[in-house]
Amino acid sequence: MSIVLHYAPDNASLVVRLVLEELRVPYTTALVDRSATAQHSTAYKRLNPVGRIPALDTPHGSIFETAAICLWLADQHRDAVVLSPSLIDPARERFLSWLFYLSNTVHAEMRTLFYPANAVGADPTAQEALATHTKASLTAHFDMLNTQYARPLETPTVCDIYLIVLLRWPALYPIRADRSWFNLLRWPALHALAQQIEARDSVVTAALAEGLGPTPFSDPHPATPPEGSAL
């Protein structure tokens, strides 16, 4: 099966790369050059009409939206590693709820923090008000998630992989903004999750490919990718 991940370093495509590595699925990558706004090009929009990263080329066509790609991969490659409950597993319903909570709520709110102009325009006062509200909301999400993860993790799922990437970004972005509201040590269960998963061989491989350093989730530093830019 020929799979191509259209990616940019330290973007949402990182979640997909981690899933691919965990599943040990052969794949190649195609850089989407954000410095040239390639994600808005006509060619790329044939893969992802929304103009966002990532997109995944498969023998059956292209898939976009991070959660959809990861769920498809987990279901297609259950013979390799189980990253999601099966269709007949009663745990499937709860798994789907958490996956789309991470994607549609936590990740979506994070985007408004990183790109406030897309939500409220260029007015600095409106952007500051949005940032204050979003930080409070994300803090509440992490408080709740910390409670949910106050238990030993046996084997990671797509949800766990998605979450650790969401724990990386607030420590680094927006670059020219106050990020003091976020300190992963405030949430010890989430910090432990980040440490546990980043020690896996799959994460080490992905971190090397995107220049994320040795502690990409528990103590993140700006990416120094061998190609492309995170911004």
**In-domain check, residue 179:** yes
207, 229, 231: which is closest to 219 by C-alpha? Answer: 207
**In-domain check, residue 177:** yes
Segment 131-178, tens digit of pLDDT? 999 999 999 999 999 999 998 788 899 999 999 999 999 999 998 889
Per cent of the chain over pLDDT 90 is: 92
Per cent of the chain over pLDDT 70 is: 100
**In-domain check, residue 86:** no
137, 146, 20, 169: which is closest to 81 by C-alpha? Answer: 20
pLDDT at residue 189 is higher than 80: yes
Residue 76 CA to its chain's centroid (Å): 20
| pLDDT (mean) for 43-58 | 97
- 57 three-class SS: strand
- Measured distance CA(10)–CA(224) in Å, rounded: 10
pLDDT at position 80 = 80
**In-domain check, residue 85:** no
Q: How many domains does the chain have?
A: 1
CATH code of the domain containing 102: 1.20.1050.10
pTM value is 0.96
Task: Spell out a b/e string for 148-166, using b for 16 or more CB atoms within 10 Å of the CB, else e.
Answer: ebeeeeeebbbbbbbbbbb
* Helix (H) / strand (E) containing 66: helix 66-76
**In-domain check, residue 217:** no
What is the biggest distance separating any 2 CA atoms in the chain, rounded to whole angstroms?
Answer: 52
**In-domain check, residue 168:** yes
pLDDT at residue 49 is higher than 90: yes
Q: Which residue type is seen at 116? A: P
pLDDT at residue 1 is higher than 70: no
**In-domain check, residue 191:** yes
Domain span at residue 165 reads 92-200
pLDDT at position 160 = 97
Helix extents (H) in 121-187: 124-148, 158-168
**In-domain check, residue 216:** no
pLDDT at position 229 = 86
pLDDT at position 153 = 82
